[in-house]
Structure 1
Amino acid sequence: MTITVESSAREQADAVRRRVISARELLDLHLTRIAERNPELTAIVSLDVQRAHEGAAAADDHLARGWPVGPLHGLPFAPKDTHDVAGWRTTYGSPLFADHVPDRDDLVVERIRRAGAVLIGRTNVPEFAAGSHTFNRVFGTTRNPVDPSRSAGGSSGGAACALATGMVPLAEGSDMGGSLRNPASFCGVVGLRPSLGRVPSWPAANQWETTSTSGPMARDVGDLALLLSVIAGPDPRVPHALGDPGQTFAPPLHGSLVGLRVGWTADLGGALEVDERVAAVVEEAGRLMVRAGAHVYAGHPDLSLADDTFRTLRAWHFQATFGDLLREHPDGLKPSLADNVRAGERLTGADVARAYQQRSALSETMRAFFEQYDLLVLPTSQVPPFPADQEFPSEVNGSPMPDYLAWMKSAYFITVTGCPAISLPAGGTPEGWPVGVQLVAPHGQDRRLLEIAAAFESARAAGV
C-alpha cells in the first residue's frame, strides 16, 4: 500500500513501524500538504519545520536501534494551542500571550509525546478557546476546508480543519460547550467529548471543575479510538480520573446497530431551534439506523435545566480563570469573553449551588432515560457552517440568536449531563457543507459508544 496523507492514522503508524515509510518521509508528505492548504485555511500555527525534522529523525533512529515504540510513533502531530507544550510557543489565541513559551507539558501532550508522535506545531483556536468559531488577533481566522468562506467551528477548529485536509493524521482538543463536536460537524470529521474523568487534565487551577474535558479527533472512528487509547486513563495527579486504562479503548472496534434502542430527536422537544438543512440530515441518520436494524423511537430526556446550569457554571469558571487578567488588561480580552467574565462576577454562592444541584438532577434524568434507551441521537450543531466573517450565527430559521452561545445548545445541553458524546459525519446541506450527527451514551460507556459509532460509520459507507 502506498501511504499518503489521506491514509488512516493506523495505516500510517503501521507503515512507520514496519519501515515501509520513514518518519522523515511521512513528515515531508504532511509538510507539503500544509504548504498547499494552510496559507488559505490557517489551521496550523507556530509551525516549526526544523524541530519537526529533528523529531522525525529521532523517531527513525529509535526504530533503527530496535527500541520499543509507542502507538503513535512517527506520526506528525500538532496539539491545540491552549494545551501547554514545553519549550514551544503557546499563545492560547491571545495577544497577551503571543510570545509565551511554557516550561512543561500538559498531561494530554505528555501522553501524546510518550506515544511517539512527532510534534510539528499547534492548531489554531479562538481566544482562550472561548466560542465555537476559530479566530483570534494573533493568527487570524481558521476557515472551513470544504468552503473557505465559512467557519471551521471551534474552539478546536484548527484541529478539525487540519485533519480534514490531511495536514495531520490525528488531532486532540478540548470541549466545554461543544469545542470538539461542533468543529467536527463543520469540517466532516469525528470528534469525541469523553465521559467526565475519562481523559484527565493536569495541571488545572480547579481539579473539581468538570465542564471541560480534553478529547480526541480523527477522520474515522477507528483512528479516534487509537488516540483515545493514548490520552485516556488514570493519573495520580487527577483525583476524579476514571480508572479504566487507555488500552481499553484501542481498536479494532466490533459494533452493531442491530437491536439497539435509540431515542431520536431533532430538537429536544422544541428546546432547540435547528436549521432545516441540519434537521434533514439528522432525520436521515435515524432512517439509516432503522435500515441497519436499530429500533428508533421519537424520544428524548427533559434537559430544560441545562441552559441555566451551563451558563452559570461557564460564567463562574471564566471569572475564576480570567477575572484577574481582565482587571489587569481591561481591553485585553475580546468583548464576548469579557462579558462572560463579568457575568461571573455577578453570581452569588446561591447561584453556583443551584447550578450544581441542577447538574445532579440532569445526571439522574439521563440515568432514567438510559434505562429505556441505549443511545440518544440528536444534532451536533444546530446550524451548518456559517460565514467566517461572523463571530456567531445571528439567527436560526429566522429566530434571532441573542449571544455567541445560543446556537450551541445541542452541544452544551449534553455537556452538563457528563455523558460521552461523539459527532460523526452524517451528510451535508444542498450547498455541500458538512453536517454531523451527535450520538450520546450513558456515562462511562465510552467503549460502547465507539463501537456503535463505528457501526453507524460502516453502515453509511456501505450505503445501507
Structure 2
Amino acid sequence: MIEGQSITAISTEIKSQKLKSEDVVKFYFDKIKKYNKDLNAIVSLRDETEVISEAREKDQLIKNKHHTGLLYGLPLAIKDTVDVKGMPTSFGCMEYKNNFPAEDSIITERLKKQGAIIIGKTNTAELAYGSQTTNRLFGSTYNPYNTSKTAGGSSGGAAAAVSSGMLPLADGSDMMGSVRNPAAYCNLYGFRPTPGLISEKRVEPSNIECPLLSTLGGIAKTPDDLSLFLDSVAGRDSRDSFSFDLNAKFLETSMSEDEFKKIKIGWLGNLNNNYSFENGIIELCESSLNILMSNPFNISIEEVKTNLFSRDIWDIWITIRSKISYDDIKMMKDINLDDLCLAAKWEYDQGIKISDEEFVQKIDGINRYRSVVNQLFEKYDFLAMPSAQVFPFDANISFPKKIGSHSLSTYHKWMETTIIASLFELPTLSVPVGFNNSGLPMGMQIIGKKAYDLKVMSFGKKYESIFNHSNVKPDGFN
C-alpha cells in the first residue's frame, strides 16, 4: 500500500523489497496522468515505459544486494532551471526549448547517486523571475486547492506536483521566496537553506562581499520528507567554493520537549507597519503562534520592534537583485532583449543603470544592517513572519497590483516579506498556517541564524507534529 505512507516509509519498503520501485513509479505516473492536465505542473515528461524499465533495473539490483541510497527507486522531477543530462533545461523560455545540457547539475548527480529516478521537469516562472509560475513555452501552473488560482512561484510546478500527490517531494530554487511562496500557497513545507549547503556550479560574484541571494532548496509535505531530501543533496563540493558541510544529518536531528519549550521567537508581523498584508494573513500566523504560546507548549513569542526594516532595506534589495539579474541576462545566449518576459525586462532595464559604485554602496549597507540581525539572534532562536503578503490570486494575473488600497510599485513588491532571509543568507522554513474563508492556504516563515539549518528543521518537525497540516489535502487530488 503506497497511498497515505510517508516518503521515508516508502523508501524503506523499496529497499527492504516489501515494495517494488516499479509499482511506486506506476503509482505516481497514474497520478500524473490523472491530475497534470488540470494543474500543468510537470513538463518534459519522460516516456513511462522507459521509466518503468529503469525502475525494474533498480528492483533487480536490490535483489542482488546492490548498494541503495536514501531516495532509491523514487520518481522525481527537477525544476526546469536545473540541468539533467538528456532533458531540456528551458527556463520556460521559447529560446531554450532545445537546450540540452551536456551534463547533470550537482544536485541532479546527488539525487541520482541516492537512487532517485528522474522522470521529468517541473514548471517554472519564465527565466525564474517572479512568484507566479507562468511562461510562454508551457503556460501557467494552477493551484490544487483552487485551480483558478496560481500555485505561486517560481517553483510553482514543484509545489503543485507535490501537493496533488504527483511527486513525493521536489527540489526548487529561491531568491525572493521562490520556494517559500509556492510552499505557502500549496499547504506545504518549503526550505530555503543557508546558501552553500546545497552545492551548485555557480558564477562567482564580481564582489566577494555580495551575499548569495539565490540558493537551491526543497519542497515536501512534511519536515521529515524534507530531511530525507536534504540529507540526499546537502554538503560540500569542490566545484562550489561557497559550499559547506553540517556536523549532523537532518534525519537524525530532533528537538526534545524541553528544548522546544525553551524556544524564543521574535514575531516580525508587518514590520512596524512597513509592509501591507491582505486581510487574514497576519491573523492566521498569529493564531498558530498563539497555540505555541499556550499550554502545554508555552513557547516565548513576542513582537519585535526594530529599526532594521526601513525603506533602505528595499532599496538595497532591488539594487543588488537588478544588478545581478542584469549580469545574468547579459550572459544568456540566444536571448533577444526585446523578447524578454516583462519581469526579466524590468530587471535588465533597472540593472543597466546601476553603477559599480552604487552596487558597492548597497553591499556596504547590508554589512551595516547585519549587526542588527545578529543582535536579534542573541535574543531569539527564530524570527517569524508571513511567507507572502497576499493569498493565492487568479492564475491569469501576472502579479498583484494592489494590496487592499495600497498600490504596488513593482512586479515583486508583494513578496517583500521574503527579502530579509535572502539578504542575510538565513535558513528559512515556510510552514503552513491554515486557510482563509475561501479555502486558500498561507504559510509563515521560521527564520534561523545563518548555518543553523538543522535547528530550523528540528523546530519544523515539532511544529508539524502539533498541527498536522499535511493531513489537509486538496479536494479532488491525492
Give the TM-score range, shorter chain.
over 0.9
Relative to the length of structure 1, the TM-score reads 0.95
How many angstroms does 1:206 deviate by?
A: 4.3
Aligned to 2:360: 353
Q: For the structure 1 residues 74 and 248, does the alpha-carbon distance in structure 2 shift closer, same or farther, using more than 3 Å as the test?
A: same
Asked if structure 2 preserves the Cα contact closer than 8 Å seen for 1:144 and 1:186, the reply is: yes
Asked if structure 1 preserves the Cα contact closer than 8 Å seen for 2:234 and 2:245, the reply is: no
How many angstroms does 1:199 deviate by?
A: 1.4
1:277 aligns with 2:283: no
Q: For the structure 1 residues 326 and 70, does the alpha-carbon distance in structure 2 shift closer, same or farther, using more than 3 Å as the test?
A: closer
Aligned to 1:439: 446
1:234 aligns with 2:233: no
The AA in structure 2 aligned to 1:293 is: N
Asked if structure 2 preserves the Cα contact closer than 8 Å seen for 1:380 and 1:437, the reply is: yes
1:71 aligns with 2:76: no
Aligned to 2:114: 115
What does 1:133-212 correspond to in 2, within 5 Å? 133-204=132-203, 206=205, 210-212=212-214
Q: For the structure 1 residues 452 and 125, does the alpha-carbon distance in structure 2 shift closer, same or farther, using more than 3 Å as the test?
A: same
Aligned to 1:91: 90
How many angstroms does 1:146 deviate by?
A: 0.5
Aligned to 1:264: 267
Aligned to 2:54: 55
How many angstroms does 1:288 deviate by?
A: 1.5
Counterpart CA distance in 2 for 1:252 and 1:218 is 17
Root-mean-square deviation (Å): 1.8
The AA in structure 2 aligned to 1:314 is: R
Q: For the structure 1 residues 255 and 199, does the alpha-carbon distance in structure 2 shift closer, same or farther, using more than 3 Å as the test?
A: farther
Aligned to 1:253: 254
The AA in structure 1 aligned to 2:249 is: T
Asked if structure 1 preserves the Cα contact closer than 8 Å seen for 2:253 and 2:454, the reply is: no
Counterpart CA distance in 1 for 2:164 and 2:18 is 23
Q: For the structure 1 residues 328 and 146, does the alpha-carbon distance in structure 2 shift closer, same or farther, using more than 3 Å as the test?
A: closer
Name whichever of 75-84 and 51-60 sits farther off.
51-60
How many angstroms does 1:452 deviate by?
A: 1.0
Aligned to 2:18: 20
The AA in structure 1 aligned to 2:299 is: A
Q: Deviations over 1:254-288 (max 9, x none)?
A: 35431211111321111210112111111112101
Q: For the structure 1 residues 106 and 328, does the alpha-carbon distance in structure 2 shift closer, same or farther, using more than 3 Å as the test?
A: closer
Asked if structure 2 preserves the Cα contact closer than 8 Å seen for 1:255 and 1:454, the reply is: no
Counterpart CA distance in 1 for 2:400 and 2:256 is 36
Counterpart CA distance in 2 for 1:218 and 1:294 is 25
Q: For the structure 1 residues 259 and 115, does the alpha-carbon distance in structure 2 shift closer, same or farther, using more than 3 Å as the test?
A: same
Which of these residues, 409, 412, 422, is aligned with residue 415 of structure 1?
422
How many angstroms does 1:252 deviate by?
A: 5.6
Asked if structure 2 preserves the Cα contact closer than 8 Å seen for 1:288 and 1:459, the reply is: no
Aligned to 1:11: 9
The AA in structure 2 aligned to 1:372 is: K
1:217 aligns with 2:215: no
How many angstroms does 1:50 deviate by?
A: 3.4
Aligned to 2:476: none
How many angstroms does 1:397 deviate by?
A: 2.0
Residue aligned with 2:171, SS: strand
Relative to the length of structure 2, the TM-score reads 0.93
Equivalent residue pairs, number:
460
Residue aligned with 1:438, SS: strand
Counterpart CA distance in 2 for 1:325 and 1:308 is 26
* Contiguous gaps of at least 5 residues in structure 1: none
Residue aligned with 2:61, SS: helix
Asked if structure 1 preserves the Cα contact closer than 8 Å seen for 2:269 and 2:303, the reply is: no
* Contiguous gaps of at least 5 residues in structure 2: 472-478
Q: For the structure 1 residues 365 and 7, does the alpha-carbon distance in structure 2 shift closer, same or farther, using more than 3 Å as the test?
A: same
What does 1:276-295 correspond to in 2, within 5 Å? 276-291=279-294, 292-295=297-300
Counterpart CA distance in 2 for 1:328 and 1:35 is 33
Counterpart CA distance in 1 for 2:154 and 2:355 is 28
Which of these residues, 345, 359, 375, is aligned with residue 382 of structure 2?
375
The AA in structure 2 aligned to 1:295 is: S
- The list of structure 1 runs, each at least 4 consecutive aligned residues, that deviate by more than 4 angstroms after superposition, is 205-209, 324-328
Counterpart CA distance in 2 for 1:66 and 1:206 is 45
The AA in structure 2 aligned to 1:273 is: S
Counterpart CA distance in 2 for 1:148 and 1:122 is 20
Counterpart CA distance in 2 for 1:29 and 1:280 is 38
The AA in structure 1 aligned to 2:131 is: S
Aligned to 2:336: 329
Counterpart CA distance in 1 for 2:313 and 2:9 is 41
Aligned to 1:404: 411
How many angstroms does 1:413 deviate by?
A: 2.6
The AA in structure 1 aligned to 2:21 is: A
Residue aligned with 1:150, SS: strand
Name whichever of 325-334 and 210-219 sits farther off.
325-334
Counterpart CA distance in 2 for 1:18 and 1:326 is 47
Asked if structure 2 preserves the Cα contact closer than 8 Å seen for 1:363 and 1:418, the reply is: no
Counterpart CA distance in 1 for 2:82 and 2:68 is 24
Which of these residues, 39, 42, 49, is aligned with residue 41 of structure 1?
39
Q: For the structure 1 residues 283 and 163, does the alpha-carbon distance in structure 2 shift closer, same or farther, using more than 3 Å as the test?
A: same
Counterpart CA distance in 1 for 2:385 and 2:40 is 30
How many angstroms does 1:220 deviate by?
A: 0.2
Residue aligned with 1:436, SS: strand
The AA in structure 2 aligned to 1:55 is: E
How many angstroms does 1:327 deviate by?
A: 9.1
1:303 aligns with 2:303: no
Residue aligned with 2:149, SS: coil
Asked if structure 2 preserves the Cα contact closer than 8 Å seen for 1:326 and 1:338, the reply is: no
Aligned to 2:324: 317
The AA in structure 2 aligned to 1:89 is: P
Asked if structure 1 preserves the Cα contact closer than 8 Å seen for 2:159 and 2:186, the reply is: yes
| Identical positions, percent | 28
Asked if structure 2 preserves the Cα contact closer than 8 Å seen for 1:174 and 1:214, the reply is: yes
